[in-house]
Amino acid sequence: MNSKESLKWKCIAPHPGEIIRKFCVDALELSVTEAARSLGVTRKTLSGLLNGKSGISPEMALRLATVFGRSAESWLQLQLQYDLWLARQKANLKHLKRWEPVA
């Protein structure tokens, strides 16, 4: 990994809930209760997501896509980026070695 690639992985990936709060709930001036009702979930479920206690499931991605736009895949991509960022912070992979093909 070169220094540019190394730097790229040090950037903080926000939890998807932060993005949903800022660009969907707050931007549309919705209460959490109103947003939850629109998504067809409980306030507790949405609060968990907005507060970083839970993530975006495939079903939630479909709900977000229907209510707020973007594709379900793009909502899941936000979750994937966050999960990978977290894993990179915690993983100790220094002892692993890449297999090289035999000539």
Q: Is the pTM of this model over 0.75?
A: yes
Mean pLDDT of 20-35: 98
Q: Around 15, how many Cα atoms within 13 Å sit in the side-chain half-sphere?
A: 11
The pLDDT > 70 percentage for the chain reads 89
Q: Say what the pLDDT of residue 10 is.
A: 60
Q: Say what the pLDDT of residue 30 is.
A: 98
Distance CA 69, CA 75 (A): 10
pLDDT category at 72 given cuts 50, 70, 90 is very high
pLDDT category at 91 given cuts 50, 70, 90 is confident
Neighbours of 76 (CB within 10 A): 20
Instruction: Spell out the domain ranges in the chain.
Output: 8-89
CATH number of the 8-89 domain: 1.10.260.40
Mean pLDDT of 40-68: 98
Helix (H) or strand (E) holding 2: none
